[in-house]
Amino acid sequence: MNCPWSLGASKWYTVHPQWWPCPCKWVGIRCDEAGSLTGLNLSSFGLIGTLSNLSFSSFPDLLAIDLSRNSLYGNIPDQIGNISKLTLLNLAHNDLSETITSSIGRLSRLSYLDFSSNQLSGRIPYEIGLLRALLSLALDTNSLTGSIPTSIGN
pLDDT at position 15 over 80: no
pLDDT of res. 22: 73
What Cα–Cα distance (Å) separates residue 69 from each residue in 24, 30, 31, 149?
22, 19, 22, 27
What is the pLDDT at residue 57? 84
**What is the band of 55 on the pLDDT scale with cuts at 50, 70, 90?**
confident
Got the DSSP string for 42-98? -TTS--EE-STT--GGG-TT--EEE--SSEEEE---GGGGG-TT--EEE--SSEEEE
Alpha-carbon distance 32 to 147, whole Å? 41
pLDDT at site 24: 87
On the question of pLDDT at 20 being above 90, the answer is no
Residues 52-55: contacts with CB within 8 Å, 24+ apart?
A: 52/77, 54/79, 55/79
What's residue 21's pLDDT?
A: 59
What share of the chain has pLDDT > 70, as a percent? 86
pTM: 0.86
Does the domain at 23-145 match CATH 1.20.1270.10? Answer given as no
Buried b (16+ CB within 10 A) or exposed e, 111-128: bbbbbbbbebeeebbebb
pLDDT of residue 35: 86
Residues in the chain: 154
> Which of 14, 15, 37 lies closest to 25 in space, CA to CA?
37
> pLDDT tens, 4-14?
444 443 344 44
Q: What is the mean pLDDT of the chain?
A: 88
Return the percentage of the chain with pLDDT > 90, whole number. 72
pLDDT the model gives residue 52: 92
